[in-house]
Each structure stands twice: as structure tokens, then as C-alpha cells.
Structure 1
Amino acid sequence: MPETERRALWLVPVAPLGGVARHVLDATRTGVPGWSITVLCPEGALAARLRAQGTTVIAAPFGPDAGLRTSRRALAAAVRVSGAEIVHSHLAYADIVSAWTRLPRTARRFTTEHGIARDDGVYHRSSAQAGAMALVHRLRFRRFDGAIAVSEATRAAMVEKWRVRRPIVVIPNGVALPDGVAVREPADVAGLRILALSRLSAEKRIDRLIEAYALVRREHPAATLTVAGEGPLRGELEARAAGLGVPVAFPGFVDPERAMADADVVAQLSVWENCSYTLLDAVARGLRVVASRAGGNGAIVGRDRCVDPDDLAATAAALVTAPPVPRDRLTTPGDMTAAIARAYAGEEPAC
């Protein structure tokens, strides 16, 4: 590590690969200018990927499976080992552990919010649970020195639901822009290939996508829909497709890049998204996208291009005619990590 680099410890309380893991992998692979990053996370797929790309990892019992007391001990030990000046938490559990762990006076606490929604039902089982968690977040923010949100919609939800009074910097997720990408217009609209990469749960509104696809099939009977992913509603969604008489492929988990290579348009009709990597990757690879007016989707594809999933006719029309999204709307990983460095320095203006 160059002597001029300062040290930050990133806290990730989950082991599997997902959206937050993707953010951490991209950021640490690209590098935060002027900072050496060590990641504290449980042993598992994320830790293995981080090691493979040369990122320093402290794999320890940390997160919901380890429990609060054990997680606090792991954090305190990791701060001592890493000599971190900044402790940067990702996801609510890590935020809470960070807030209520005694850290050296020289250490500053930062947080990035990846997953808040205006609709309490997206992440909480009841209004009582949502209210309790909102109070916890209001209290923990008193102990943080910096806050980052992945979209303006995320920032607004933090202010509204948690009454955050400190400045919140908006830094969108970054995505690499492959060279030589051309927008993939289907050679024949009749053979349109529609793809959804999603957890099969109610908030993703796959049922609306299937119903809109049924309308598309009336005019274009060779059009296809692939719904890749798993979740509690798989059986219900398969039954819905069968009831409408439309063939929908449910292949389970797939390699996203391969799936996108065989698609013309990616559809995402979620109740809420903060800064969706699915949409970012689709735009970066030249696919057309159809997205709901939810959360940060408009910042990626343009608010005027978003659809109301309850308007099935409009959604079906968009699946066929949605124009390509300019790739210059996207933030690159280098832009993202440079903005994080500015936030650490207190240089990024509040949004």
C-alpha cells in the first residue's frame, strides 16, 4: 500500500453475491482514489471473489447469522487490525452494528444506503416493524459522519422516512461500458425476446409483466418471455401464464450476461428499485428496457420512458416500441469511486 493511501474498512453483513456485493466488488476492483479498502464480511462467495481480485478481506462472524454481540466484537477487532480511519457500512445490519460499536475517536462512520423504499411493505412485514426500524435508523444517524445514497429517490426516502437531517450525497452505482456495443433492435418485431431477471416475489410485479406479454402475443405470436430467478411466487406465476395461455420460460437462476445476450428488451416493473444493476447492465449492453416509475428507475432510463404497470396496454406497447436508452446517462465505476473519495474528503456537495 502506498504511504500516501489512507485506510477504510467496509462492512458487508452478507456472504452471497447480490446487488450490494456487486457494488463492493466493482468499487474495490476499481479502487477509491487515495484510499486502501479492507472489507469485513462473513466467509462465503463474496469473500472468495474479493480475494480473487486482490482485495484485502477480513472474513469473520459478522451479520445477522452471527448476532449483534459477535458482530460488534468482529468489527472492533477488524478496526484494530486494519487501522481504518473510515468505517463504511453497507446494509442496515452493518449500519446498526457500526453505530453501537465503540470505535477509536479517530475513526469516522460512513454509510451507503442501497435499499430503502417508500412503501413499507417492500422490506417490512408490518407497519409496527417499519416504525421501529425507522426509529432505530433515526437514532443511529446521530453517530454517522457521512451518508451516501445510490439515487435521488433513495435520498428522498431517507429524509422522509428516517428524518435524516445531515447532508446526503447521491452517488449512483457505476457500471462498465463494454466497447463495441450496438443497440440490439430485433430483426423482426414478431420474434421479440423479452427478459426479466428478478426475484419471484410480489413487489417485482411479474404478474403484470405476464399479463402485458399476453397482449403482445396477440399481435406477435412468436414473441417470447423469459423470467429468470427464483422466489416464493414461482408456482403462482407459472399458473398465471398457463391460465392466460402464453408460454413463459422460468429457467431459475441464470448467468445474467448470457441471458442478456439472448434478449432484445429487459423488463422490470418493480414496486421500488433504488439503483438497479439489472437496468444498468441492460442499458450498458445496448438492450432496450421497460421499467416502472419506481424509485431510481427514472434516473437510469428517463422518467418519461417509464411505464405504469397497471396500464397493461401501455406496458405491452412499450415492450414492442421502447426506444434505446443513451449510455451516456450511466455512471462508470471510476466516476463512482472518485465521488466516494470526494465524499470522504467532505468535498461532495449535498444533493
Structure 2
Amino acid sequence: MSSPSSPSSRAGHTPLRTVQVLGGGSAGSSVHVRSLAAGLAARGVRVTVCAPHPLETAYDFTSVGARHIHIPRGSDPVSLAALRTVCADADLVHAHGLHAGLRTALALAGRRVPLVVTWHTRGHAEGARAHALRLLERRVARAATVLLATSSDLVDRARARGARDARLAPVALPAPPRPPARAPAEQKARADVGAVERPLVLAAGSLVRHRGYEALLDAARAWRALDPVPLLAVAGEGPLRGALQARIEAEDLPVRLLGSRDDLPALLAATDVAVLPSRWEARALFAQEALSLGVPLVASAVGGIPELVGDAAELVPYGDAPALAARVAALLADPARRAELSRAGRRQAAGWPTEDATVAQVLSVYDELTHPEPLF
């Protein structure tokens, strides 16, 4: 049912027609678009999600009331023409991510359709690619009518790139319920990774350089002196897998690369300590899930992480393997501190924006852009 404040419920107005554009679709942005589509559709907004077929298969946007249109993630003329056609009747278009923002800006060129872009995260590049990334960010920031960013430092970055209107818009992501302690699924998850009689430390994310896995393996080498030796499990795939596995074998590290997992919530719930050693994060999905489940978290003090976790996690400098190793070892040896962080994590998560609040904030932006106040 439409709320009284929703654009779709105003007398004399047809339902607001929106298009949500995803490119590659990280887990965080894809889950957000699904949540946003559900909330908007429930308020009477017409929602079309443009995304590659695999994202519809994984996130099932149509089941929450959206229409899905397959648009490949490329910026080739055929994809841009298809996107332009889908957006032809839209009252507003909302792109999620930098590359989706660029493709959408190109598709809307010459049209006076409001473009909202959400930056869920930021790119990582060095050398000549870093210059190209800055140009891309500038192009998207300047094209957006309103740019929403999920952390304060991303807002600053967007403004520095020339955004006309950049706003903080924390994204609420649904957290899985925590199963009872040592429930069968939890026991099975620990057994599957080989951590029945030893502590389990878990990291998750694509195996790429900016995730900080090199320092994490340095920390795992130090944990070999502990008794019992904890197992570090890393869920995710990526181009560094071969190099990381070679180092694990060469140094006999207590580490298992798990690849992609469809039981990550159960595995996380079974974990003694979660680690997030990244060079930069905004509102990391893994951090949100860990705190929501009451799992103690050790993370790099970077990007939007400090404002996300507050005092409910242990923070260490990025790339400081000795500090990371020491903080995790101290937590494994201190059940009382782990219990304290577990309680603090749930309290912190309870204070994050709800899905309803997130939808309401986005809808207020849509309303502002599609129903501007009269000049007189």
C-alpha cells in the first residue's frame, strides 16, 4: 500500500516510474537494489531493474515486485541503446556503482531525466589506471543530479570530483538471523572447514590485492605459535587465489581458501573471530553481518568502517600484520572480551538505518527531483 507521502499516492499523479541500473553488481549493491525494489514497489512505485541475467538469477528482483530487463554490463553501442530504450519512459533513473553510473549517463545523454547515482564503494587503481579512475569518477559525479554515497569519505570524494549534490545515504542490508549456539548448521559449517577442535577465524571477500590478504597471511603465520592453532578460513574467489595458495603451501600456514560459499551466514555464525583486513571499505556487508550476528570483528580502521562499527569492533591500521595478529590472538584468549564485543555488535547493528528508513530516504530524493517546489 502506498504511504501518504509517496509520490505514487498524490492525487492527479500516475505511479512514479523508476529504473534501477546495476552493472557487475557487488553483493552489497545487489542486495540493496533488491531491498529498495521491494520497498518502492510496496509503496506503489513502478520499478524496472536493468541487470545481467546472472544477477536476476541470484537475487530474484521480480519476486519482490520489480520488472527485470537483461542489460549486459558492457558500454558497447548495443547495450547502451537497449538501456536508453528501457529508460525512455522513466520519470527517474537510479544507477548503482561507478560503471553503471557511466553507462546510464551515456544512455541518458540529451534527455532531461533526473539521474541518481549511488556510490556503494570505490575503485582501486595505481599508476595510469588511477588517473583513468579519477576521470571516470569525475564524469559520473558531474553527470548525477544527486549522488548518494554510503560513507562520509565517499561523500567527500564525490564532492572533490565535482558532484553538484552529494549526500550521505547509509544503506541498510538485511542481516540473517543467528541460529542457536552450536546449532546443527553451525556445527556442520565448522566441521566442513576443519575447525571442530580449534578456533575458527573467518575472512570473506574477493581475492584481490586491496583486500589485504597478504598481511592476513602474515598474521596467520604468527598464529602457529598458539595452542590450539586457529584455522583461518577465507571465503571468496579472485585473481590472487593461485599466489595465496602457493604461499599457504610453501609456508605451511593454517589457512584454507574456501572459494565461493552459499552457506556463509552459517559459517559466520560459527566463527570465533571475523577479520576484515581491507585497504578501504565503505559499509562492508561482511562487517554488517558479523556485528548483526554478534560475531567479534577485527577490521582495518579505514574508509567508512570506523563510523559503521563505532566501538563494537577492534580496529587496527591497514597492513599492520603484527597488530592484526596480536589483536586476534588476544580475543581468542579472552572469552569475556569476545562476549562483550558480541553484545556491543548487536547494539551497534540495532542503531543502523532500517530497510524502511533507507527506502524512505531514497524515496524522498525521488520526490524532490520529480516534484520540485514551484518558484512562486
Q: 2:40, 2:288 → 1: CA distance? A: 20
Q: Which position in structure 1 is the counterpart of 2:321? A: 312
Q: 2:56, 2:162 → 1: CA distance? A: 32
Q: 1:54, 1:217 → 2: CA distance? A: 47
Q: CA deviation at 1:228?
A: 1.4
Q: 2:366, 2:181 → 1: CA distance? A: 37
CA separation of 1:70 and 1:266: change in aligned 2, threshold 3 A: same
Contact persistence 2:32–2:173 (CA under 8 A): no
Unaligned runs of 5+ in 1: 185-189
Structure 2 residue 309 is matched with structure 1 residue 301: yes
Q: 2:54 aligns with which of 24, 32, 44?
A: 44
Q: Which position in structure 2 is the counterpart of 1:209? A: 216
Structure 2 residue 234 is matched with structure 1 residue 227: yes
Structure 2 residue 257 is matched with structure 1 residue 250: yes
* Identity percentage of aligned residues: 25
Q: Which position in structure 1 is the counterpart of 2:374? A: none
Q: Which position in structure 1 is the counterpart of 2:146? A: 146
Structure 2 residue 221 is matched with structure 1 residue 240: no
Q: Which position in structure 2 is the counterpart of 1:336? A: 358
CA separation of 1:273 and 1:140: change in aligned 2, threshold 3 A: closer
CA separation of 1:182 and 1:289: change in aligned 2, threshold 3 A: farther
Q: 1:129, 1:202 → 2: CA distance? A: 15
Q: CA deviation at 1:140?
A: 4.3
Q: 2:205 aligns with which of 194, 198, 209?
A: 198
> Which whole-Å deviations, capped at 9, do the CAs of 1:246-303 have from their partners, x for residues lacking one?
3211121112212213212211101111221111111111111111112111122227
Greater fraction helix:
2
Contact persistence 2:116–2:144 (CA under 8 A): yes
Give the TM-score of the pair, scaled to structure 1.
Answer: 0.82
Contact persistence 2:50–2:71 (CA under 8 A): no
Q: 1:47, 1:215 → 2: CA distance? A: 41
Q: CA deviation at 1:152?
A: 1.0
Contact persistence 1:183–1:286 (CA under 8 A): no
Q: Which position in structure 2 is the counterpart of 1:101? A: 107
Q: 2:167 aligns with which of 164, 169, 172?
A: 169
Structure 2 residue 93 is matched with structure 1 residue 87: yes
Q: 2:298, 2:261 → 1: CA distance? A: 20
Unaligned runs of 5+ in 2: 3-7, 10-14, 183-196, 332-337, 370-376
Q: 2:27, 2:177 → 1: CA distance? A: 25
Aligned 1:175-190 pairs, distance under 5 A: 175-177=173-175
CA separation of 1:220 and 1:331: change in aligned 2, threshold 3 A: farther
Give the alignment's Cα RMSD to 1 decimal.
3.1
Q: 2:351, 2:51 → 1: CA distance? A: 32
